[in-house]
Amino acid sequence: MKKMMTNLLVAAAMIALPALANTKDNRLSPVEDKVRHELVMLPWMSIYDNLSFRVDGDTVTLFGATIRPVMKSSAENVVKRIEGVSRVVNNIEVLPLSPFDDRIRLATARAIYGYPALQRYALGANPSIRIIVKNGNVTLQGAVATEMDSNLAFMRANGVFGSFTVKNELRVDNR
């Protein structure tokens, strides 16, 4: 049981950032690996934040959305300090503060992670299904193991009262 939990934690950590820029043989360059590591290690990262990046030479472009303004500046600051990075373009969106959106976030998380078939995605420090809510519109991002899990998460999120739309951007990761 302990070995299985360790394997699940390692798998969750490996798919923490869904939109990584891969090289041709599906390995990260040293700079990409360092950027990924620094972003995954940011404190206060939650299922309501989704950060990604692209490396072009010595320029790193950050993307995604966060509910905490400090995440945007923290991500930029840690990436700036990486050897081999001379410029950081920060396109991380800070989502608006809204009790309405907060209620939808919590209800969507309960609907997805409380469903027995999807509970395994809640394991680990960094769950792989990200719930982005902006002005009542929900976007699911991240990685799941099967198309069925993607569809289940979409259906569970679609059943949350108060959300206007649900967009499913979950990718199937067959590793």
Question: What is the spatial distance between Cα 105 and Cα 111, in angstroms, rounded to a whole number?
Answer: 10
Residue 32 has pLDDT above 60, yes or no: yes
Please give the distance of CA 10 from its chain centroid, rounded to a whole number.
16
CB 153 within 8 A of CB 170: yes
Please give the distance of CA 89 from its chain centroid, rounded to a whole number.
19
pLDDT above 90 covers a percentage of the chain that reads 74
Residue 106 burial (10 A CB sphere; 0-12, 13-18, 19+): middle
| Model pLDDT for residues 37-94, shown as the tens digit of each residue | 999 899 888 999 999 999 999 999 999 999 999 999 999 999 999 999 999 999 999 9
Residue 3 has pLDDT above 80, yes or no: no
User: Smallest Cα–Cα separation from 169: which of 147, 146, 141, 143?
Assistant: 141
Q: Please, what are the domains in the chain? A: 2-94 (3.30.70), 99-172 (3.30.1340.30)
